[in-house]
């Protein structure tokens, strides 16, 4: 298997590598220590982002490190497969967020709503299950709750409200 650095990035659909959707990242003060401002050299900032957020060395064992260093609840986001839900329980996470990250980053990913019932079957109400993906109106909330979600995350409707002056 090739390391990610060996891939020809011109043939990979990842909008972030092209700098799309990076506005929040570029304006985050946490990235000011870069040698150059992200706005001055987007390529350096994008590659730094890819090393931080695309860290393939992270494993399930890293959850123990987080649990050792915080008393905050740890919710695992991006879970779509029942086997990952089982592993989340084995590693004592405090909750799951079922999400395909809007489907934008991984074109063709399984829809979060489709994955939700299978994950809830595994979790059996041992920990909260949240749904984050595609919630645009009240009926979406009702569907998610009917399929087993304890709660939903509603970032997009908030952005719609802000877009029309709140």
Residue 9 DSSP symbol: G
Catalytic residue list contains 101 = yes
**Across the strands, what pairs with 23?**
none
Q: What is the CA radius of gyration of the chain?
A: 18
Residue 109 DSSP symbol: P
Is the Cβ–Cβ distance between 148 and 120 less than 8 Å? yes
Determine how β-strand 95-98 pairs with β-strand 151-152.
unpaired
The structure tokens listed for 59 are 């494993």
Please give the Cα distance from 137 to 34 (Å, whole number).
40
Residues marked as catalytic: 101
């Amino acid at each position: 298997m090739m390391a990610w650095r060996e891939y020809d990035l011109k043939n990979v659909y990842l909008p972030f590598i092209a700098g799309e959707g990076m506005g929040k990242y570029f304006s985050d003060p946490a990235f000011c220590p870069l040698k150059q401002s992200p706005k001055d050299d987007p390529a350096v900032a994008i590659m730094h982002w890819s090393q931080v957020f695309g860290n393939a060395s992270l494993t399930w064992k890293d959850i123990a490190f987080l649990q050792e260093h915080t008393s905050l609840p740890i919710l695992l986001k991006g879970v779509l497969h029942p086997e990952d839900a089982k592993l989340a329980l084995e590693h004592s996470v405090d909750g799951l967020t079922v999400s395909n990250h809007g489907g934008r980053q991984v074109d063709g990913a399984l829809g979060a709503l489709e994955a939700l019932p299978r994950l809830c079957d595994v979790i059996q109400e041992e920990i909260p299950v949240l749904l984050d993906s595609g919630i645009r109106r009240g009926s979406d909330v009702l569907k998610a709750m009917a399929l087993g979600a304890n709660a939903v995350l509603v970032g997009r409707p908030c952005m719609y409200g802000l877009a029309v002056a709140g």
